[in-house]
Amino acid sequence: MALLNIRTDKDPILRKTSRPVIEVTPRILTLLDDMVETMRRANGCGLAAVQVGVLRRVVVIEVEEGTVYEMINPEIIESEGHQEEAEGCLSLPDRWGVTSRPMRVTVKYLDRKGKERTLTGEGLLARAICHETDHLDGKLFIDVMIREAEED
């Protein structure tokens, strides 16, 4: 596994739309492994492939230690409720803002074996799914931010 370079907000790649993964290849599996290692080393709870310079629809999320969700071609198919919470991003270091996200989302995706799965997440997991899938469409949390988060 390797640590990947996280792109920051000045990098125009973050505003590009990621392409779907057609086939789960060894290269995609390596990308997933490297993304998990990179996310953990950066103390993040999610990472999209575009954040490491790869324009593919791939995300990893770990909001609960030891439970990693690897999602290929994720698509939110249901959402409900509402939450307004502070959000940050590994590509926007030291910037926090309050966003409005659904309280609960269901996402359809492929796992690392190419099997279609669905996952329903609430609270922080729902927010992370929305945040990471936004990255795949070239959106950053500052695009949906209601206001800057107040410092404690």
pLDDT of residue 148: 87
pTM above 0.75, yes or no: yes
Q: What distance in Å separates the CA atoms of residue 135 and residue 101, rounded to the nearest whole number?
A: 14
* CA distances, 88 to each of 25, 26, 49, 92 (Å): 31, 31, 17, 7
> Distance between CA atoms of 130 and 56, rounded to whole angstroms?
16
The parts of the chain modelled with pLDDT lower than 50 are none
**Residues making up the chain, counted from first to last:** 152
Q: Which of 132, 148, 150, 151 is catalytic?
A: 132
97-127 pLDDT tens trace: 999 999 999 999 999 999 999 999 999 999 9
pLDDT at 83: 97
Q: What is the pLDDT of residue 151?
A: 61
Question: φ and ψ at 148, to 5 degrees?
Answer: -65, 145
Question: Taking Cα atoms as reference points, which of 99, 101, 107 lies closest to residue 82?
Answer: 101
Dihedral angle sign, alpha carbons of residues 104, 110, 115, 116: positive
**pLDDT, position 152:** 53
Question: What domains are there in the chain, each with its CATH number?
Answer: 12-148 (3.90.45.10)
pLDDT of residue 1: 75
Residue 64 bears catalytic tag? no
- Does the CA dihedral 92-87-141-135 come out positive or negative? positive
